[in-house]
Amino acid sequence: MTEQTKLHGFFRSSATYRVKIALALKGLTFEYLSYSLRDKEQLIPAFLALNPQGLVPALEMDGAVLTQSLAICEYLNELHPRPALLPDGALDRAKVRAAAYAIACDVHPVQNLKILNRLRALGHGDDVVEKWARTTIEEGLAAYEKLLPVDVGPFGFGDTPTLAEICLVPQLMNARRFGVELNSNRILAIESACLELEAFQPLAEA
């Protein structure tokens, strides 16, 4: 790397957490810059110059600015192939991506702060909004578990964490915030295996 890598994000952002995990798994150091989403700091002009979507994370690396957490993770995987975040075989890669996308594309976007605030703006009370988030997460995690192969290792797809776990563990953080009852032994075992690795330790509040 020719200059300091900078991760722009928020400690409760599961998308930011994903990129932090990927950077740490690859052994890459970075400077962390925090933005309070509740205070809409991600909408200040300086950040919008980095990411016009006004979303976290954004990653400054080697003179470029990257956005979208899974695009960043796959970029890091291409740049630093080991440890691999995706399996070698095309079919196995597709299965890992499917599990990752089930969370990153179908669960996370409709239970994040932006959407919940829109529900409140439409007149829904906090009880209804939080139930929306819980139901979304519960349904998503149930489907995620069914996408996993049977008995292949301590992680979801083998002996090492993949893009799927990079999406799963931050989503479990969100699940607990919304009071989701986590009773899947398989998912909890995968989470436990991940949390034994320093890379999966959550971001600290800045």
Instruction: Domains for the chain: give ranges and CATH numbers.
Output: 6-79 (3.40.30.10), 90-200 (1.20.1050.10)
119: helix, coil or strand? helix
pTM of the predicted structure, to 2 decimals? 0.94
pLDDT over 80 (residue 2): no
Per-residue pLDDT, averaged over 58-65, amounts to: 96
Report how far apart the first and last C-alpha atoms of the chain are (Å, whole number).
Answer: 25
116-167 per-position pLDDT tens digit: 999 999 999 999 999 999 999 999 999 999 999 987 889 999 999 999 999 9
- pLDDT the model gives residue 206: 59
Summarize pLDDT for 189-204 with one digit per residue, the tens: 999 999 999 999 999 8
- Give 37-42 contacts, CB < 8 A, sequence gap 24+: 37/10, 37/12, 37/13, 37/113, 38/113, 42/10
